[in-house]
Structure 1
Amino acid sequence: MGVPMAPGRLPFLGHSVAMLRGRQRFTSSLRDHGDVVRVDLGPMTTYFVTTPQLVHQVLVTDGPRFSKGAMFDKFRPYVGNGLVLSDGAFHLRQRRMVQPAFHRDRIAHYAETMQRAATALTTSWTPGEVRVVEDDMQALAVTVVGEALFSTELGQRAIAEVRRSVFVVIKQGMVRALSPSFVEKLPLPGNREFDRAIARMRAIVLDVIASRRAEGVADHGDLLSMLLLAQDEAGDGMTDQQTYDEVLTLLTAGIETTALALAWAFHEVARHPDVERRLVAEFDEVLDGRPATFADVPRLKYAAAVVNEVLRVYPLWILMRRAVEPVDLGGVRLPVGAEVIVSPHALHHDPASFPDPHRFDPDRWLSPSADVPRGAYIPFAAGARQCLGNVFAQTEVVITLATVLSKWRLVPVPGKPVRTKFTSTAYPSGLLMTAVPR
């Protein structure tokens, strides 16, 4: 069976807003050309999967028949072989070792940090002050993940370095992943900044790991303790390098997702007064003026719907997988080594799965008929590679919304529309909002 060829190419170089919006339009348009569409990324031929059913096959049903794709290969030399990048038996071993760190009892403990950090942030606000909301949410996400990882006094130096360097690593790392290989070798300011940030974070995290081992590993109630105490079926723990790789994975994946989700959530809530009214009413009813806890999260159903909708509207642009054995995908026989692309953005904006997909509508998650096809909604991927921190991230967003909106309104500054920057997803830029006591 032949594979339809996309009408045009999808260049990786260049990162203007217009070009990246064009990419999103391009990937969304591919569903009109078939279930599996050939797309040329420069010299590399890829197969773009457009239906939820085939996406579910790639990520879940036939997940073991795929490894991470070419885009992820470019990260590995810089950010290591943590769960986001590792494959095969090693990935399974690491996932089993890391998973206990995200047990519900642990997340309940981290939720106290989330609430405390959000309260500290809003306590620093003054009535009528204009806040740069994306900066506030980035700072909050660093505090939460940093304190969840490094609870001891020694870890405070690591958190300070994370504040300085992690967004350089995230943003410049994605630029490298989406650009031809020769670009990373050029003496560009972004490349030098990225290399320095990686070197600083590596030095401080390895120093904290070495100090913990020298003290004698104990459970300090943080994620690093769990990583250092974890053992595989043979009774072996992680090496320093393996621990560092997982720490860097947790930092980069955990901070970006929640910071973006929170910034866009406040943006959308402010744009939709009825959503804000219903959120605040739910917080008042469930919490009755007390701080939100992990036990409250299942009762905050409308807040969960708001978070789901934010994650639908603002997901990753693409994921890549590589076939490690021949695979039949919708009647197309893919050979070993075939590169497959899945677009969460295109899936989340497919009107067949989400009617009126460009409308922000939390109620679509509360309707009795809200039956989303498997594979249509993948904000944290799916299958054996689904993000382990998905409950952590969703809990953080709900608790932060509850903490902030119970006390404050964030009102857009007139004449200052939010701009959007793109790497692997949409970043708000200049999200200026006035803090008004409720």
Structure 2
Amino acid sequence: MSVPVAPGQWPVLGHSPAMLRRRFAFTSSLREHGDMVKVYLGPVPMYFVTSPELTHQVLVTDAASFEKGAMFDKFRPFVGNGLVMSNGAFHLRQRRLIQPAFHRGRIARYAETMRESVSDLTDSWREGRTREVNEDMQALAVTIVGAALFGTRFGQAAIAEARESIPIVIKQGMIRALSPAFVDKLLVRGNRRFDRAVTRMRAVVLELIADWRATGTDRGDLLSMLLMARDEGGEGMTDQQVHDEVITLLSAGIETSALALAWLFHEIAQNPEVERRLHEEIDGALDGRPVTFEDVPALPYTQQVIKETLRMYPIWILMRRTDREVELGGVRLAPGTEVTISPHALHFDPRFFAEPDRFDPDRWAPERAGDIPRGAFIPFGAGTRQCVGNTFAQLEMAITVATVAAKWRLVPVPGKPVRVKYTSTAYPARLSMMAVPRG
């Protein structure tokens, strides 16, 4: 069976220029050519999967036949071999060591820290003052993830550095991942900023690890759990392995939550009926008291709003590589074949999401959500490589929305339209909103 080649291929550079220039439009257009389409990343061919069924096969059913792909190879020398980057038996070992840190009981302990962090932020708001909501949500996500990782007492320097450096690592790293290798060596501003950010984060995290090793005290934070974790043979992680997992948790934790929250407040401001129902639910469930971990199940519409935000603003692409021969969509792929999936393209596929450009939390109501096929909604990936912190992130979003919406509305500022930049996802480069107290 032959696989169609996507249009727009350049000599030597392949489809890289089209992917970097058109990004979401390019990857969404691939479904028009079939369930699998051949795309060239420079001279390297990769098979782009466009259907939920094949996506589920790659991420879940045949996950053991795939390892991380070329994009992760480009990141690994700079951000380490953490859970997002690692493969095979090492990945399984690290996941087993890290998983207890995200069990339900442990996550419940972070709910109060989350609420306090949100309250600290909103206490700084003043009626009628303009807020750059994208910056507020990024600072909030760094504070919450940093506090969970390092504790507020010991981790201030690391939290401050993460606020500055992690966004640079994420954004510039995606550009590197999709560019030919020689681009990494160019003495351009983006490369210099990326290299400096990686170096600074490494230094501050290794210093924290050394401080912990000197005392060995369980501080109740995620870093303590990582350093105390032991595998079946009684072995723990090396300093390098702990560093890699910390950078992974910072990158993944800040990225998803900050962007989703910023876009969520933007969307409810654009949809008055959604905002009304959200406020009605939160007011009824909380009755004026602070939200707790136990309250979250009583906020189903809030969780529908969160899901719809995650649908509309997911990561752009995921890459995998076969490590054995695999049959995918009737095509036999040799070991070492690159396979790519676009969560964004799947989430905007009108075959599975009617009017995909419309913000519609009711598509996640129980009577409708069951019609969405598996593999069509993958905001945190799926299978054994699903993001280990997905429950943490969704709790963080629910606590933040409930805390903010109980007292404040964020409304658009006239004459300041939202500006969007596209890298690994859609970033609000400027999201100016006015803080207005409720009632």
In structure 2, C-alpha distance between the alignment counterparts of 1:6 and 1:178, rounded to whole Å:
16
In structure 1, C-alpha distance between the alignment counterparts of 2:230 and 2:181, rounded to whole Å:
37
Q: What is the identity, as a one-letter code, of the residue corresponding to 1:73?
A: D
The alpha carbon displacement at 1:7 in A equals 2.4
Residues 7-86 of structure 1 mapped to structure 2, 5 A cutoff: 7-9=7-9, 11-13=15-17, 19=21, 22-86=22-86
Is 1:263 aligned with 2:267?
A: no
CA contact (8 A) 1:128 1:434 kept: yes
Q: What is the identity, as a one-letter code, of the residue corresponding to 1:288?
A: D
Is 1:435 aligned with 2:438?
A: no
Q: Which moved more, 1:198-207 or 1:6-15?
A: 6-15
CA contact (8 A) 1:169 1:194 kept: yes
In structure 2, C-alpha distance between the alignment counterparts of 1:33 and 1:160, rounded to whole Å:
46
Residues 283-432 of structure 1 mapped to structure 2, 5 A cutoff: 283-371=282-370, 372-432=372-432
The alpha carbon displacement at 1:26 in A equals 2.1
Gap regions ≥5 residues in structure 1: none
Structure 2 match to 1:100: 100
Q: Percent same amino acid among aligned pairs?
A: 66
In structure 2, C-alpha distance between the alignment counterparts of 1:332 and 1:408, rounded to whole Å:
54
CA contact (8 A) 1:283 1:300 kept: yes
Q: Give CA-to-partner distance per residue, 1:264-291, whole Å, 9 cap, x none.
A: 0000010001111101111001111111
Q: Give CA-to-partner distance per residue, 1:181-212, whole Å, 9 cap, x none.
A: 11111111111111111111111110110110
CA contact (8 A) 1:152 1:220 kept: no
The alpha carbon displacement at 1:8 in A equals 2.5
Give the secondary structure class of the aligned counterpart of 2:59.
Answer: helix
Q: Which moved more, 1:114-123 or 1:166-175?
A: 166-175
Q: What is the identity, as a one-letter code, of the residue corresponding to 1:3?
A: V
The alpha carbon displacement at 1:105 in A equals 1.1
Give the secondary structure class of the aligned counterpart of 2:327.
Answer: strand
Give the secondary structure class of the aligned counterpart of 1:340.
Answer: strand
Structure 2 match to 1:192: 192
The alpha carbon displacement at 1:426 in A equals 0.2
CA contact (8 A) 2:45 2:338 kept: yes
In structure 2, C-alpha distance between the alignment counterparts of 1:361 and 1:110, rounded to whole Å:
30
Q: What is the identity, as a one-letter code, of the residue corresponding to 2:364?
A: W
In structure 2, C-alpha distance between the alignment counterparts of 1:315 and 1:193, rounded to whole Å:
25
The alpha carbon displacement at 1:238 in A equals 0.3
Give the secondary structure class of the aligned counterpart of 1:67.
Answer: strand
Say how many residue pairs are matched: 433
CA contact (8 A) 1:15 1:422 kept: no
Structure 2 match to 1:163: 163
CA contact (8 A) 1:380 1:386 kept: yes
The alpha carbon displacement at 1:367 in A equals 4.5
In structure 2, C-alpha distance between the alignment counterparts of 1:413 and 1:5, rounded to whole Å:
45
In structure 2, C-alpha distance between the alignment counterparts of 1:339 and 1:220, rounded to whole Å:
42
Q: TM-score of the superposition, structure 1-length normalised?
A: 0.97
CA contact (8 A) 1:67 1:321 kept: yes
Q: Which moved more, 1:175-184 or 1:257-266?
A: 175-184
Residues 112-131 of structure 1 mapped to structure 2, 5 A cutoff: 112-131=112-131
Structure 2 match to 1:203: 203
In structure 1, C-alpha distance between the alignment counterparts of 2:428 and 2:116, rounded to whole Å:
25
In structure 1, C-alpha distance between the alignment counterparts of 2:18 and 2:212, rounded to whole Å:
43
Give the secondary structure class of the aligned counterpart of 1:411.
Answer: strand
CA contact (8 A) 1:36 1:330 kept: yes
Q: Give CA-to-partner distance per residue, 1:374-417, whole Å, 9 cap, x none.
A: 10000000000000110111111111011111101101001211
Give the secondary structure class of the aligned counterpart of 2:224.
Answer: helix
In structure 2, C-alpha distance between the alignment counterparts of 1:51 and 1:394, rounded to whole Å:
26
In structure 1, C-alpha distance between the alignment counterparts of 2:18 and 2:39, rounded to whole Å:
18
Q: Which moved more, 1:166-175 or 1:76-85?
A: 166-175
Residues 138-157 of structure 1 mapped to structure 2, 5 A cutoff: 138-151=138-151, 153-157=153-157
Give the secondary structure class of the aligned counterpart of 2:368.
Answer: coil
The alpha carbon displacement at 1:219 in A equals 2.3
Deviating runs (4+, > 6 A) in structure 1? Answer: none
Q: What is the identity, as a one-letter code, of the residue corresponding to 1:426?
A: A
Give the secondary structure class of the aligned counterpart of 2:16.
Answer: coil
Give the secondary structure class of the aligned counterpart of 1:321.
Answer: strand
Q: TM-score of the superposition, structure 2-length normalised?
A: 0.96
Gap regions ≥5 residues in structure 2: none
Kindly report the root-mean-square deviation, in angstroms, between the aligned alpha carbons of the 2 structures: 1.3
In structure 2, C-alpha distance between the alignment counterparts of 1:64 and 1:388, rounded to whole Å:
17
CA contact (8 A) 2:8 2:18 kept: no
In structure 2, C-alpha distance between the alignment counterparts of 1:171 and 1:31, rounded to whole Å:
26
In structure 2, C-alpha distance between the alignment counterparts of 1:429 and 1:84, rounded to whole Å:
26
Q: What is the identity, as a one-letter code, of the residue corresponding to 1:411?
A: V
The alpha carbon displacement at 1:329 in A equals 0.5
